[in-house]
Amino acid sequence: MLIRQLDNNRLEIRAPAKVNLFLEVLGKRPDGYHNINSLFQAVSLYDTLEFSVTDRPGVSVNLVGDRVVSSGDTEIMTWDKQVPLGNDNLICRAYHIMRREFGLAHGLKVVLDKQIPVAAGLGGGSADGAAAIIACNLLFGLDLTRAQRAQLSLEIGSDLPFFFSGGQALVSGRGEVVEPVEVPTDYTMLLVNPGELVSTAEAYRLLKRDLTNRRQPFTLAPCRDVSEFIAALRKTGNDFEQVLGASYPDLDRIRDVLLQAGAVLTRLSGSGPTMFALFVDTPAPGRDATDDWGSWRLFTVEPITWPLEVV
């Protein structure tokens, strides 16, 4: 998270997307969630949120930009103006949890510049929700520890606790076990989003894991350089790729185009449908590199980290 205090009552947070460099689904839990084993990496694609304190309790979120996003079941097109979002987004849910827990006497006005595609496996909504918890903590002087903020965020979604790490973490349980790690970052990455929305619930339904389907989770060994790191990543994968392939044939086409462009590793992020590719000795290709991109959205990004004390 990149945090900038604008004045005593306003701050700006740039909330990054994440990719799952590998993702294993180990089985369904008694509470209905699934245990995972994953390496999360934050990348330099951001939603920018400006938070302002209001006199009365409550929260409003206005969307700005020139793109298509979804709020609940509603798709919204914006044209460089502010469009209000409903209360079902994770920013509003985060504020209401903080108000419930700490009796907040003031509210928040939020302006969201949405750049991270929604329902894309990149954790954009989770990053926004985590940013709202950080904003409440700072603007209302709550002085919560990082662990306390992460625990509160778990009420909103399983991916949120990661965003209170330093940008790299091994994530297990249903997302609540976050172990910060240091892995190589001397590569570039291309994200390719085909523009389709994938429901996480539907992806898990297709996976059909249950409590009896257990295996030994992959263990990431220490890596001295990026070559060792990529070699280690090749030993695992993303469990959603095979089950989503039949429903989303663009995923195989994206993989082929990325490998032809020189990617050393290509994989699905989260429950998709965004694919990512790592490039080491060659630069990530732009849209003009091939005619095969079609209507897919491309984002050239880098892995990022930040000091733990920031969040």
For 292-301, what is each residue's pLDDT tens digit?
898 899 999 9
Same domain as 207, residue 85: no
Domain boundary among 181, 216, 231: 181
Q: Give pLDDT, residue 31.
A: 86
User: Is the pLDDT assigned to residue 33 strictly greater than 80?
Assistant: yes
Same domain as 228, residue 83: no
Domain boundary among 153, 181, 209: 181
Same domain as 206, residue 136: no
Which residue range forms the structural domain that includes residue 262? 188-301
SS3 assignment, position 130: helix
Q: Which of 18, 28, 128, 250 is catalytic?
A: 18
Residue 308 placed within a domain: no
Among 126, 153, 134, smallest CA distance to 47 is for 126
Residue 273 placed within a domain: yes
Same domain as 81, residue 16: yes
Tally of structural domains, the chain: 2
Residue 310 placed within a domain: no
Residue 61 placed within a domain: yes
Same domain as 198, residue 89: no
Distance of CA 228 to the CA centre of its chain: 25
Same domain as 135, residue 73: yes
CATH number of the structural domain spanning residue 288: 3.30.70.890
Domain boundary among 136, 158, 181: 181
Q: Give pLDDT, residue 212.
A: 53
Residue with the bigger pLDDT between 269 and 215: it is 269
Residue 15 placed within a domain: yes
Region 177-194: mean pLDDT is: 96
Q: Which of 128, 159, 239, 250 is catalytic?
A: 159
Q: Where are the alpha helices (DSSP H) in the chain?
A: 90-102, 124-139, 146-153, 200-207, 226-233, 240-245, 250-260
Q: Give pLDDT, residue 79.
A: 44
Q: Which two tokens stand for residue 286?
A: 């732009």
Give percent of the chain above pLDDT 70: 91
Same domain as 210, residue 244: yes
Residue 195 placed within a domain: yes
Residue 207 placed within a domain: yes
User: Is the pLDDT assigned to residue 229 strictly greater than 80?
Assistant: yes
Averaged pLDDT of the chain: 89
Region 29-36: mean pLDDT is: 87
pLDDT digits (tens, 9 = 90+) for 48-80: 999 999 999 999 999 886 554 444 444 444 445
Label residue 214 by pLDDT band (50, 70, 90): low
Residue 6 placed within a domain: yes
Least confident span in 40-44, 78-82, 260-264: 78-82
In the beta sheet, which residues pair with residue 28? 34
The sign of the torsion formed by the CA atoms of 188, 175, 35, 114 equals negative
Residue with the bigger pLDDT between 305 and 287: it is 305
Q: Give pLDDT, residue 216.
A: 85
User: Is the pLDDT assigned to residue 271 strictly greater than 60?
Assistant: yes
Least confident span in 21-35, 115-129, 182-196: 21-35
User: Is the pLDDT assigned to residue 215 strictly greater than 80?
Assistant: no
Label residue 270 by pLDDT band (50, 70, 90): very high
Annotation marks residue 159 as catalytic: yes
User: Is the pLDDT assigned to residue 311 strictly greater than 90?
Assistant: no
Region 154-175: mean pLDDT is: 95
Same domain as 51, residue 11: yes
Same domain as 173, residue 36: yes
CATH number of the structural domain spanning residue 20: 3.30.230.10
Region 229-253: mean pLDDT is: 90
Which long-range CB contacts under 8 A does 21-25 form with residues at least 24 apart? Answer: 21/233, 21/267, 22/218, 22/233, 22/236, 22/237, 22/238, 22/267, 23/237, 23/238, 23/239, 23/240, 23/268, 23/270, 24/215, 24/217, 24/218, 24/236, 24/239, 25/204, 25/207, 25/209, 25/239, 25/240
Q: Give pLDDT, residue 72.
A: 44
Annotation marks residue 292 as catalytic: no
SS3 assignment, position 104: coil
